[in-house]
Structure formats: structure tokens, C-alpha cells
Amino acid sequence: MISKNSKIAASFAVILLLTVGTFAFIGAMDNDDPDYETMATLGNIPANAIPVSSAADLARVGTGQSSGGHVWSLGAYYYQTANITLSGLFTPIGSSSSPFTGTYNGQRYSITGLAVNSTSNITGSNNGGGMFLYVSGATLTNIDLKNVNVIGGIYHTGGLVATAVNSTISNCVVSGLVNINYSGGGQSPTYQCVGGIAGVAYNSTIEKCVNYASVNMYGRSGNNQGTGFAGGIVGGNANSTITGPLTISQCANFGSIYANTQLSAIGIHAAAGGIIGMAYGANGANLTVKDCYNSGNVSTHTSSSGSTSSLVASGGILGGLRNGQLGGSWTISNCYNSGKIDAVRQNTSTAQNMPGSGAIVGSSNNIGSGSATPGGNVSIVNCYFLENTVYRNGAIQNALIGRGDNTIDGTSVPVRSSTQNSGSKTDAQMKPTQSSAAGGSSVFYTGTTRGNIAGWDFNNVWVMKGGYPLLRFSELEITSSPSNTVLIAGNTFSYKPTTNMDGASFSASGATWLTVIDGTVVGTPTSAGTYTVTLTATVGSKTTTQTFTITVHAKLAFVSMPTGSILVSPSLGVLA
């Protein structure tokens, strides 16, 4: 038999255990460490890094000047510490003979009003445009360019960088206007690339970048020149005869992409792509595009009839393939297009003259030896597009590939639903719920294909929020928040939530006793009740919410018991 004193002690032990357990649970949730994605984004700033906080500072980058105890060299580490607004024309950083080789970490502060006009303030062999003209072995990260106005001349042009070699570009955003106006006339190079992020990039990696800028290539032939390529992220992956692998991942384009040229001579070409305008063919010039999407309008147009060996192509992801017969491999996986794609050519009297217009690839026919010449095999894996978005000469085409040789979903793939094969999908099919997408029951294939290419990842890379798939890195998310919590009245609730973006502010509603102090949700309830709390996080114009429940139990009252009183425990029965 259990004694009365033992029963009372056990009852108080249970109560004490509940109280201690509650606090232990809350303490375990209170984690000040930043989430992995934030750590991967900002990284650690070196002790000798140079802060950039003004337009004057930005103008010093890479000049070699000595100022503020620093030498502002081309190889230094720079980090931005404030939003910067520019006025007048900006002189791009670096050149082909003296490239930028350091690091520029914008820390997601903005640079507004970057203006470059290569016909006015850039001359000679550096006649291109961008915040950076030429980078080699560099790192460009967390840079936010707002309302740029970049006009290139006869050389490659990009909103962020004109030419990137052996470099890494990540977490960068560009909005505004990026143009290249080329008149040929025997000048070199014989083709030009313009891109929202980079004009050309090779031996490089570009990841988690977004373009909102309108990107336009205007070419006019002269002496068999005038070829041009335009891309939302990158114009092309080669610079003349110099090539190398390029990987583009988790990037998106929202801007309109346009290429226009006169096809009045043999070998004049135009191609536009939502992600990359031109993929160059050569041994080692491998292109990998994965986990990317385009929602901008992509179009090419010719202003004269042109030759049968000239090609016009538009693609939602890749515009065209140049000199594919030279070798190389090109793989596009886990990508989609929802923007309008069109390629218009005036002279279409023969099959060779027909433009290529495709939701994923405009054309993989060889550019450079006749538009009907096979150039290379582009592998397309797990790629989809919104139906009725692809046109050719103004008429619906609904094609995944405009023209050329391509391998779709490999020669052998795992068993899957026919709706999960690459191709055209309805609006409803492109908008599954998060649970069905992550569970593998939507059109977006989540398995592993031949060649060990992983399918769509809706847990780490993509997310559904009621529309088409979005890249998680570009969408504000609360990465940790309190679970449903039990608390004793009079005890303090404290939790510090985190998001996948830096600089988030928080607010909490649903319990008047809760407030947010220095990013921590804190408060002490005085009475019992159940509270449904809505936690709101905001970064700039992005807002997201998450709800959780706090159940508050009344505080146990200790009273003196008269002799002969009976103490009853719900779990142990009569104790006295």
C-alpha cells in the first residue's frame, strides 16, 4: 500500500516534472544560431576586408587608390554596408587586361541607378557594359542592382558583369534595362552576348540569381557580322574561342528577353533564351542548367530575309546552340517555362529558313554552318512548360524544342506516370499543392533518372505557394518557429525565430501578453487559456506567416489543509 505522504510526494513530483519539462522544451527551441542558408549566403567577412558605404567608395573599387587605411585593389575583398544610390555614368570595374580578381559581397544592400553607356564612357577593347567589365577568379555575391541602365556597344554586356571567367556569382538580383547595340562593320568579336546577370561566362558557376531587367540585343550586319545572343541570366557561355564549363542553378528570369538582327548576309544569327541565349560547342564547353525557370517573354525577330545559313531561335531556357559539331555536352534538368516564347523570321520559303521556337530549347541545330546542320545533342530531363505559350512566326507551336537534335528524359528512365514526362502541362497541373509535389504525386518528377540526375526537390530547392513552383531561396520563409507549446501561467515564454533571409523583422498577434524584443518573441501569461499565435516575418516587400498554439495552464495554488481534508489527484486518486 502506498502511504499518504508517498502519494502526496508523487503528486508534487509530477507537477514539478511538468513544470521543469515545459521549461526544458522551450529552452531547447531557443537557438540563436543562424540557419544554414543564411550562413552559406553571407559567410564570414575577413578582417582586412574593405567596407563600401557610398557612391564614392564604389567608384574606388579596383582603382588601386589608398584611402581609409586600405588599398582599393582589384584583388581585395569588399563588403557593402549601406544602400547606395548612383548618379551619372558609372565606369565599370576591371578590364580584359586587368580583371577584377577579388570578392564583392553586397550583403544584400542595394545599388540603385547604375548607368553605363559604352558609346560614351567606355572606349577601345573594353567597349562593353556592366557593374564589372571583366572578372577572373572572382566572387560576386549578395549584390542587388536596382533600376540599372546599361548600354553596351561592340562587346559583351551584362547588368552585373560583362565577362566572367573562372568565377562564382551567387545571390544576385538585377532590375532595369540592359541593352547592346551592335552595328558590325568588320569589328571584333564577330558576335555579341548580353545577359541580365552576365554577358558571357565560362569556367564559372552562377547560382541563386534573379533577373527582372529587360534584356535586348539589337544587331545590324556589316561585313558578315551582326550575330547576337540575349539571355535572362547569361548571354552565352563562350568568349570567341575561349571556352569552359558553365553551371547555372536555381536561377529565375522575369524580364523580357529580345534579340533582333538583320539577316542580310551569310552567317548572321540571333537567339534569345530565358536563362541563357547561346550555348557554345567545343570540347570542354559543357553547359549544365538545373532547377531554373523563366516567366518572362522571350522573342527574336529579323528585319530582313537573310540567308538560308542564318538562324533565328527563341527558347524558354536555352535559345540556341553554336558550333555544336565541335563537341561538348549540354544538359537541362528540372526546369520550366511559363513565359511567352516566339521567333519571327520574314523569309520562310524553305525548311532551313524556319525559325526555332521552343519552351525549353529554341534550336540545337548548328549555328555557323547552316541552320539545318545538326550541331549537338541537348539532354532535357524533367522539364515542363505551360501549354499554349510557344509561338513560331506568330502561330501556336507548343513545342518543347523548336528544332534540332535532343534527348528527352534519357533513353531509359524509371517507371513514372506519363504525365510526369517532360512536355506541355495545363495550368492546373503546373500548380500542385506543396504536399502532392513533395510527395511525388504531381507532374513534377521527384525520383532519380538515368545518369543519376536527381528530380525535383520540393523540400530544399522548390516550394509551392498556390501558383507555379518557386525557388525557396528567393521566397521568404520562417525556417524555425515554436511548436505547439504548453506553459504554466506566470512562467515566461521566450523564442527567437529564424528565416532564410537576413534582416527579418517579426511581429506576433493572437496573445496580448506577447511582444517582440530584438527579434525574440517573449511574454508572461497571467491566466489560463489557449492562444493561437500568428508569427509574421518581413524582409523588404516580402512577408510570410506561421501559426502555433500556446496552451496555458493555471498556476497550482498551495493552500494549508485542515485536518481531515481529502486531497484528490486526477491521476493517482485519493491521496489523503
Q: What is the pLDDT of residue 326?
A: 61
Q: Quick: pLDDT tens for 312-329.
A: 889 999 998 766 656 667
Percent of the chain at pLDDT exceeding 90: 51
Whether 196 and 339 map to the same domain: the answer is yes
Q: Are 257 and 284 in contact (CB under 8 A)?
A: no
Query: Considering only CA atoms, which of 64, 66, 57 is closest in space to residue 90?
Result: 57
Q: Does a structural domain hold residue 428?
A: no
* Total number of domains in the chain: 3
- pLDDT at residue 14 above 60? no
Q: What is the CA radius of gyration of the chain?
A: 29
Whether 73 and 162 map to the same domain: the answer is no
Q: Rounded to the nearest 5 degrees, what angle is found at the Cα of 541, between the Cα atoms of 472 and 482?
A: 60
- pLDDT at residue 41 above 90? no
Whether 547 and 497 map to the same domain: the answer is yes
Q: Which residue did the predictor score with more confidence, 264 or 139?
A: 139
Query: Considering only CA atoms, which of 399, 408, 413 is closest in space to residue 379?
Result: 408
Average pLDDT of the chain to the nearest whole number: 81
Whether 388 and 274 map to the same domain: the answer is yes
Query: Considering only CA atoms, which of 271, 266, 288 is closest in space to residue 363?
Result: 271
Q: Are 421 and 373 in contact (CB under 8 A)?
A: no
Q: Are 208 and 462 in contact (CB under 8 A)?
A: no
The mean-pLDDT minimum among 219-223, 252-256, 455-459 falls in 219-223
Q: Does a structural domain hold residue 219?
A: yes
Q: Which residue did the predictor score with more confidence, 51 or 305?
A: 51
Question: Rounded to whole angstroms, what are the CA distances from 121 to 164, 181, 214, 557?
Answer: 21, 15, 22, 80
Whether 316 and 358 map to the same domain: the answer is yes
* Cross-strand partners of 225: 222
Whether 513 and 368 map to the same domain: the answer is no
Domain boundary among 410, 440, 459: 410
Q: What is the pLDDT of residue 239?
A: 55
SS3 396: strand
- pLDDT at residue 26 above 70? no
Q: Cα(335)–Cα(172) distance, rounded to whole angstroms?
A: 19
Whether 159 and 278 map to the same domain: the answer is yes
Mean pLDDT across the stretch 77-104? 96
Q: Are 69 and 91 in contact (CB under 8 A)?
A: no
**Phi and psi angles of residue 6, each rounded to the nearest 5 degrees, phi first:** -65, -40
Whether 24 and 53 map to the same domain: the answer is no
In which band, very low, low, confident or very high, does the pLDDT at 38 lie, cut at 50, 70 and 90? very low
Q: Quick: pLDDT tens for 262-313.
A: 655 556 678 999 999 988 766 567 889 999 999 999 999 876 555 555 678 8
Q: Does a structural domain hold residue 526?
A: yes
Whether 357 and 390 map to the same domain: the answer is yes
Q: What is the pLDDT of residue 363?
A: 85
Q: Cα(343)–Cα(401) distance, rounded to whole angstroms?
A: 12
Provide the greatest CA pair distance for the chain. Answer: 112
Q: Does a structural domain hold residue 203?
A: yes
3-state percent helix, strand, coil for the chain, nearest multiple of 5: 10, 40, 50
* Cross-strand partners of 363: 320, 403
- pLDDT at residue 467 above 90? yes
Q: Are 261 and 221 in contact (CB under 8 A)?
A: yes
List of residues 6+ apart from 517 with CB closer than 8 A? none
| DSSP one-letter code for 374 | B
Mean pLDDT across the stretch 507-519? 93
Q: What is the pLDDT of residue 549?
A: 93
The string over 301-318, giving b where at least 16 C-beta atoms fall within 10 Å of a residue's C-beta and e elsewhere, is bbbebbbbbbbbbbbbbb
Torsion of the alpha carbons at 128, 129, 132 and 137, rounded to the nearest 10? -40
Q: Cα(469)–Cα(485) distance, rounded to whole angstroms?
A: 32
Q: Domain containing 22 — which CATH number? A: 2.60.40.10
Q: Is the peptide bond before 432 cis (omega within 30 degrees of 0)?
A: no
Mean pLDDT across the stretch 470-477? 87
Q: Does a structural domain hold residue 126?
A: yes
Domain boundary among 361, 387, 410: 410
> What does the H/E/C string look like for 76-144?
CEEEECCCEECCCCCCCECCCCCCECCEEECCCCEEECCEEECCCCCCHHHCCECCEEEEECCEEECCE
- Terminal Cα distance for the chain, rounded: 13
Whether 183 and 37 map to the same domain: the answer is no
Q: Does a structural domain hold residue 460?
A: no
Mean pLDDT across the stretch 105-118? 93
Q: Are 511 and 531 in contact (CB under 8 A)?
A: yes
Q: Are 366 and 324 in contact (CB under 8 A)?
A: yes
For residue 71, give the H/E element and its range.
Answer: strand 70-71
Whether 361 and 293 map to the same domain: the answer is yes
Q: Concatenated DSSP letters for 286-319?
A: -EEEES-EE-S-EEEEESS---TT--EEEESSEE
Give the sign of the dihedral formed by CA 65, CA 71, CA 76, CA 82: negative
Q: Which residue did the predictor score with more confidence, 185 or 515?
A: 515
Cell of residue 168, nine digits: 562564382
Domain span at 11: 4-30+478-553
The mean-pLDDT minimum among 11-15, 333-337, 471-475 falls in 11-15
pTM for the structure as a whole: 0.81
Whether 8 and 53 map to the same domain: the answer is no
Q: What is the pLDDT of residue 48?
A: 93
- pLDDT at residue 508 above 80? yes
57: left (phi over 0), alpha (psi -120 to 50) or beta: alpha
Q: Concatenated DSSP letters for 214-259?
A: EEEEEE--BTTB-EEEEESSEEESEETTEE--EEEES-EE-S-EEE
For residue 60, give the H/E element and its range.
Answer: helix 55-60
* Cross-strand partners of 308: none
For residue 532, give the H/E element and its range.
Answer: strand 529-539
Q: Cα(144)–Cα(76) distance, rounded to whole angstroms?
A: 20
Burial of 399 (0-12, 13-18, 19+ CB in 10 A): buried
For residue 454, give the H/E element and its range.
Answer: strand 453-454
- pLDDT at residue 422 above 70? yes
Q: Does a structural domain hold residue 467?
A: no
Query: Considering only CA atoms, which of 458, 385, 448 is closest in space to residue 422?
Result: 385
Q: Does a structural domain hold residue 96?
A: no
Domain boundary among 393, 410, 427: 410
List of residues 6+ apart from 226 with CB closer than 8 A? 182, 183, 184, 219, 220, 261, 262, 265, 268
Q: Are 525 and 559 in contact (CB under 8 A)?
A: no
Question: Rounded to whole angstroms, what are the CA distances from 414 to 18, 312, 454?
Answer: 51, 35, 12
**Phi and psi angles of residue 64, each rounded to the nearest 5 degrees, phi first:** 85, 5
Q: Quick: pLDDT tens for 230-253.
A: 999 999 886 555 567 899 999 999
